[in-house]
Amino acid sequence: MTTPLKPPLLVEHLCFNLYSTSLKMTQLYKPLLAELRLTYPQYLVMLVLWEEEGLGIRDVAMRLEQDSGSVTPIVKRLEAEGYLLRQRDPKDERNRVLTLTDAGRKLREAGGRLNQQIAQSCNLQTGEMQALMAGLSKLARNLEK
């Protein structure tokens, strides 16, 4: 007679640990981003544009691993806040090219300070942070297969 298979405890599930950690990270970011008048999704779009301006909405969406329909309302809110401009792509009229305004560029420095605050709150050494990020990247690649 075989013993029935029991599922692991909740805390032994990788999916739960990823989920609960993601919630904690988002809550950590929330008050810091509120000072910048940004939501977490808006911050992610800004991070992409701080790396490279002049991208189309589709390009930003691809880098964020989202669809352009999800990114467009975020971009519109950022434009309303005065952080970026949307202009027609001369190569493809259906796409919009995004450029930062002076206010959006100035926000970059505050984003850098915010990143330092997050790193301090995580209380991880540089090597630990790099190993964790490498492990998560590997997991993401494995799940894409």
Q: Angle formed by the axes of helices 40-51 and 14-34, to 10°? A: 80
With respect to residue 66, please indicate whether it lies within any of the assigned structural domains: yes
**What is the span of the domain harbouring residue 64?**
25-144
List average pLDDT for each run of 10 residues in the chain, which is 145 residues long.
Answer: 85 94 95 94 97 94 95 96 92 87 95 91 92 95 91
Q: Do the bridges between strand 84-89 and strand 92-100 make them parallel or antiparallel, or are there none, so unpaired?
A: antiparallel
With respect to residue 35, please indicate whether it lies within any of the assigned structural domains: yes
CATH number, domain containing residue 65 = 1.10.10.10
With respect to residue 130, please indicate whether it lies within any of the assigned structural domains: yes
With respect to residue 20, please indicate whether it lies within any of the assigned structural domains: no
Which pLDDT belongs to residue 89?
Answer: 80
With respect to residue 108, please indicate whether it lies within any of the assigned structural domains: yes
Q: Where are the beta strands (DSSP E) in 17-133?
A: 84-89, 92-100
- Number of domains composing the chain: 1
